[in-house]
Structure 1
């Protein structure tokens, strides 16, 4: 029975594109995701070894805004996962299968109204793609420098009045129901893991993530860490007790995993 629940974001926290990795693709790096016939995401070999070891000692929960399909593309070290969270908390996977009862709890989310309004507002060459994720939320792929002045503020205000939130992560602008969040899904997984006998009631909750959609998960954890890059770094997100890595890119991923082991060791000290 484990003494730690670890919820960890994936993109730019655990896994990295070649551009975001920060060091050359060589024998010290392994590809963990293929897409359209080519490599897409990487981890250092040291990170893969650390993550496998961590998964054998704690209840590690991959926690991502990716859809179920996008998550399934990743060959993440440490699998198979008893629990994983996708769709920003909209889906909980149990032994790889989305839990129908959890997903049904979001059936009353009014996605069509948001899609319709967004289509009317986000019209122009600056919008490269419009996407809907798992029938839960939507996002735009944009040219960041071409987003019209005031769009984010105006769209955020419209969404906030209807129980939705907006965030931009690089080329993606997410429109997300407030009820769909990583922290709520992690809390549900913790309850289930205790009931399953995988996790001690007094276990600590640890978390790591780099984006605005990770903020609630970091704040809800007993101890949390973020890399010194990404959206939260740009926002200077530094609540009391949050650890920030000294490294960036893939080395930050290694530092995060080392930090997890350190927090577990501290918790186990008499």
Structure 2
């Protein structure tokens, strides 16, 4: 096998009704893939469900998310179970659904050696916010934190000032919709995916020259997109607002859940090109054929 796929989930593969928009949600045939507090939360189109299941049957797919393991486990992704998944923005590698303690210990060592601790960040963050625009402050996996905010009431100067403070102490701050994340700079999706890739090469699942294809929509995905051999982002989200680009980056034409379909079609197209030349897969099929 000479291709590996790593993809962000929220607003890349899966979408809330709000992220899709009322018109798109009403127009598309959506399948619920996540229930939270006894209510549907996240969806994929029926086409996306079929495409992801097909992709996962063809090549190793690594769900790669900022969600904690508990939040990730709420999602019923087509193509599952996945042998590997990356959670907590790279702070966790899940192997057959179970946390890898060795990776977590390595992450904690890197964080302790590279900058401020979570307690220091929380103390500073609390001094900068108030209840007029912050709905909650949450700690994720004892590793990073994020705010849930009212964007309309958020002071214009907060984010750039908070980003400067974090950057000086080895952390990264970014905003995705109503959430403002503060994460250690040493905890990245790309580092976790590099470790997963090493393991898949070592056990013979993929070849040493296997290409990495990746997708994501937010600032916390940029290291993964930059590290990939082929990368794609949707025409919405934080990176679209920032106008972020990179050499060779593909941007979808569609937005919302339609972008998710387009990303999966792009993955399958890239994988068909690579697997067609794989001597171990003489019958690899092209996209759109049976």
Any unmatched runs of 5+ in structure 1?
none
CA-CA distance at 1:26 after TM superposition: 7.5
Q: 1:138 aligns with which of 129, 135, 145?
A: 145
From the superposition, tell whether residues 135 and 268 of structure 1 become closer, same or farther in structure 2 (CA, over 3 Å).
same
CA-CA distance at 1:200 after TM superposition: 1.4
Counterpart check, 1:32 vs 2:39: no
**Matched residue, 1:53:** 54
CA-CA distance at 1:14 after TM superposition: 0.4
CA-CA distance at 1:153 after TM superposition: 1.7
- With the length of structure 1 as denominator, give the TM-score of the two structures: 0.96
CA distance in 2: counterparts of 1:226 and 1:33, whole angstroms: 22
Any unmatched runs of 5+ in structure 2?
112-116, 278-290
Please give the secondary structure, in 1, of the residue aligned with 2:231.
Answer: strand
CA-CA distance at 1:59 after TM superposition: 0.7
Alpha-carbon RMSD across the aligned residues, in angstroms, is: 1.4
CA-CA distance at 1:161 after TM superposition: 1.1
- Does the aligned pair in 1 maintain the 2:252–2:263 contact within 8 Å? yes
Alpha-carbon deviations, 1:183-228, whole Å to 9, x = none?
1111111001111222111111000011111111001000000111
Please give the secondary structure, in 1, of the residue aligned with 2:43.
Answer: strand
CA distance in 1: counterparts of 2:135 and 2:232, whole angstroms: 33
- Does the aligned pair in 2 maintain the 1:205–1:223 contact within 8 Å? yes
CA distance in 2: counterparts of 1:21 and 1:153, whole angstroms: 28
Runs of 4+ in structure 1 off by over 4 angstroms are none
- Does the aligned pair in 2 maintain the 1:208–1:224 contact within 8 Å? yes
- Does the aligned pair in 2 maintain the 1:227–1:245 contact within 8 Å? yes
- With the length of structure 2 as denominator, give the TM-score of the two structures: 0.90
CA distance in 1: counterparts of 2:28 and 2:270, whole angstroms: 30
CA-CA distance at 1:149 after TM superposition: 2.8
Please give the secondary structure, in 1, of the residue aligned with 2:139.
Answer: strand
Q: Between Structure 1 and Structure 2, which shows a larger proportion of strand residues?
A: 1
- Does the aligned pair in 2 maintain the 1:227–1:253 contact within 8 Å? yes
**Matched residue, 1:43:** 44
Alpha-carbon deviations, 1:151-173, whole Å to 9, x = none?
11221111111100100001111
CA distance in 1: counterparts of 2:32 and 2:214, whole angstroms: 24
From the superposition, tell whether residues 139 and 150 of structure 1 become closer, same or farther in structure 2 (CA, over 3 Å).
same
- Does the aligned pair in 2 maintain the 1:18–1:25 contact within 8 Å? no
CA distance in 2: counterparts of 1:24 and 1:30, whole angstroms: 10
Q: 1:164 aligns with which of 150, 162, 171?
A: 171
CA distance in 1: counterparts of 2:20 and 2:157, whole angstroms: 32
CA distance in 2: counterparts of 1:259 and 1:200, whole angstroms: 21
